[in-house]
Amino acid sequence: QKYGYTHLSAGDLLRDERKRPGSQYGELIENYIKEGEIVPVEITISLLKRAMDQTMAANSQKNKFLIDGFPRNEDNLQGWNKTMDGKADVSFVLFFDCDNEICVSRCLERGKSSGRSDDNRESLEKRIQTYLQSTKPIIDLYERMGKVRKVDASKSVDEVFEKVVQIFDKEG
C-alpha cells in the first residue's frame, strides 16, 4: 500500500475461482493444486488480467501491481508476454529464497489452520520438484536480465520485511 501497488496473488485468485459456484475451471484447478502442478496459463492469465482490469476500472490511478506467485514456468512467461505485451512491464522480480526444509515445515505449520489441500508433505514434495524443474529457470532468466531482487526468506518475518522495504524504497 505504501508504494501504491495492488497485491494480486495468483494462488489466491485460483483458489477463489475454484470455490466460485458455477466456475467452469473449479475442478480442473483443484486437481492441479492437489498434484502440486502448475495450472494452465490461460486460466491464470485470465484471472490476473480480470483482477487488474477491475482494479483499474475502479480507480485508474491504481496501475501498479505486485503479482505474487507468477510466472511459475516457461508457459506462464510466454502467456504473460503474449497477453500483456504493451500493456504491462515487469519492473523487477522479488525472489524469496529459502531452504526447502524450512519451506516444508512452514507450510505444514500453516496447514494446521489453512484448510489448503496442498499443505501436506506429499503435495509439498511435488511442489518442490515442480519449482526446481519449472520455476527456477524463470528466476534464472530474470536474473540474467538484472531484474531479480533476492531476499533471504529463512530469516524472521521482521527481518524479511525490512529487506523488502529496503528493496521497495530503492525501486519505488
- Mean pLDDT of successive 10-residue stretches along the chain, which has 172 residues: 93 93 92 88 94 96 94 94 92 95 94 90 92 96 97 97 96 86
Same domain, 78 and 137: no
Looking at 61, 90, 119, the residue that finishes a domain is 90
Q: What is the pLDDT of residue 148?
A: 98
Question: Total structural domains in the chain?
Answer: 2
Same domain, 154 and 136: yes
Is residue 7 helix, strand or coil? strand
Same domain, 71 and 100: no
Q: What is the pLDDT of residue 26?
A: 92
For residue 27, the domain's CATH number is 3.40.50.300
**138, HSE (Cβ side, Cα atoms, 13 Å):** 22
Among 5, 11, 7, residue whose Cα is nearest residue 114: 11
Same domain, 4 and 85: yes
Q: Are 52 and 143 in contact (CB under 8 A)?
A: no
Same domain, 74 and 99: no
Same domain, 64 and 103: no
Q: What is the pLDDT of residue 25?
A: 93
Q: What is the pLDDT of residue 14?
A: 94
What is the residue type of 92?
A: F
* Alpha carbon 118 to chain centroid, angstroms: 15
The DSSP element (H or E) to which 151 belongs, if any, is strand 148-152
Residue 25, all three cell numbers: 475451471
Q: What is the pLDDT of residue 71?
A: 94
Domain that holds residue 40: 1-90
Q: How far is it, in rounded angstroms, from Cα 149 to Cα 61?
A: 25
Same domain, 103 and 163: yes
Same domain, 63 and 12: yes
Q: How far is it, in rounded angstroms, from Cα 134 to Cα 161?
A: 27
Same domain, 56 and 122: no
CA torsion 20-23-26-27 (nearest 10°) is 130
What is the residue type of 37?
A: E
Q: Are 65 and 5 in contact (CB under 8 A)?
A: yes
Q: What is the pLDDT of residue 118?
A: 86
Q: What is the pLDDT of residue 116?
A: 86
